[in-house]
Amino acid sequence: MSPPELLALIAEFSEKQSPIDFVLILSHWDIFLTGIKNTILLVLFGLVFGAIVALPMAIARWRRIAILSEAIAGFVYVIRGSPMLVQAYILYFGLAQFEAVRESVVWPVLKSPWFCAAIAFAINSAAYQVEIYRGGLNAVPRGEIEAAAAIGMSRTMALRRIILPSALRRCLPMMANESIFLLHGSAIASMLTVIDVLGAARRFNAQYYLAYEGFLAATVIYMVLVFGITRILGFVERKTLKHLALRSATNRIQTQLI
């Protein structure tokens, strides 16, 4: 059998017999690729901008700066206590009703569903990241901070050279969780008409009047993405937390010997 014949046979099987027309899905790889690109970009935007906003907030919380600290705690509570979908709707549908917003300089940004989704992700992720970094800062041993002060470092220098590197390293496992969490949350971008992975699936389904084939493809893509992120972050974690891992490994050997 020649390759073209085989291909024709596969196409026929896919269309007539197989419960899922996988050839049709594969022939629309381009829209799913757009979806993957948008999902990854949105998640990266949310994580990076979330981190930029969250780090100063976490330091303010950690130093217990009056008023500011309470205000940040309130922000975190409100964002973590309400659905991200509603937050994204407020940005996209809610703000657009005000004349002042529509005439302001930020309108070109708030007009775009992509940026509304991205900003919603950044705000949402910032609230979760504040708590992660605060936990990391609180976990820095007192001795490290005292040692930095003892050799004459200023507070800022101690923060930059000693405390933050130590704290952020501790946050890595939690950040891995947060990345997966945001990737899961990013599916709501499709509700704002963005073509992310799920948006691509919905468009694909609508085009061919299918019920679930696109969602099945999206499910598989999300699983691959989650798997990829877990692997990459696991690698980074092992690299940066090497000194801690070694110690726990020796501990384990010691306990086994006992």
Partner 1 sequence: MDSLWNYKWLLVQGSGITLLLGICSLCLALVIGLAGAAAKIGGGSALRRIAGCYTTFVRSVPDLCMMLLLYFGGQTLLNKLGTVTGWWDYVELNAFFAGVITIGFIFGAYMTETFRGAYVSIPPGQLEAAHAIGMTHGQVFRLITFPQLMGYALPSIGVNWMVLLKTTALVSVIGLKDLVSYGMSAGNTTRNPFIFLLAIMAIYLLFTAASEAVLRALEARYTRGRRREV
> 98's torsion region: left (phi>0), alpha (psi -120 to 50) or beta?
beta
| Residues 62 to 81 in contact with partner 1, rule: CB under 8 A | 77-78, 81
- The smaller minimum CB distance to partner 1, of residues 147 and 232, is found at 232
Residue 223 is a binding residue for partner 1 (CB under 8 A):
yes
DSSP 52-116: HHHHHHHHHHHTT-TTHHHHHHHHHHHHHHS-HHHHHHIIIIIGGG-HHHHHSTTHHHHH-HHHH
State which residue, 128 or 133, has the beta carbon closest to partner 1: 128
* Residue 219 found at the interface with partner 1 (CB under 8 A): yes
Q: Are 24 and 101 in contact (CB under 8 A)?
A: no
What gap in Å lies between CA 171 and CA 86, rounded to an integer? 28
- Asked if 236 interacts with partner 1 (CB under 8 A), we say no
Q: Which of 222, 178, 144, 197 is nearest to 35 (CA)?
A: 197
Q: Rule CB under 8 A: say whether 190 interacts with partner 1.
A: yes
Contact 23, 15 (CB under 8 A): yes
Output 50 or 214, the one with its CB closest to partner 1. Answer: 214
Token pair 């930020």: residue: 106
Pick from 22, 75, 107, 215: which binds partner 1 (CB under 8 A)? 215
Binding-site size, partner 1 (CB under 8 A): 39
Spatial distance between the Cα atoms of 157 and 205, rounded to a whole number of angstroms: 56
Minimum distance from CB of 138 to partner 1 (Å)? 18
Q: Which is nearer to partner 1, 49 or 89 (CB)?
A: 89
Q: Is 84 in the site for partner 1 (CB under 8 A)?
A: yes
* Smallest gap from residue 40 Cβ to partner 1 (A): 14
Q: Which is nearer to partner 1, 207 or 250 (CB)?
A: 207
- Segment 148 to 167, residues that bind partner 1, using CB under 8 A: none
Nearest to 38 by CA among 227, 231, 218, 233: 218
Tell me whether residue 148 or residue 192 sits nearer to partner 1 (CB atom).
192
Residues forming contacts to partner 1 in the complex (CB under 8 A) are 77-78, 81-87, 89-90, 93-95, 97-98, 183-188, 190-191, 197-198, 201-202, 205, 211-212, 215-216, 218-219, 222-223, 226-227
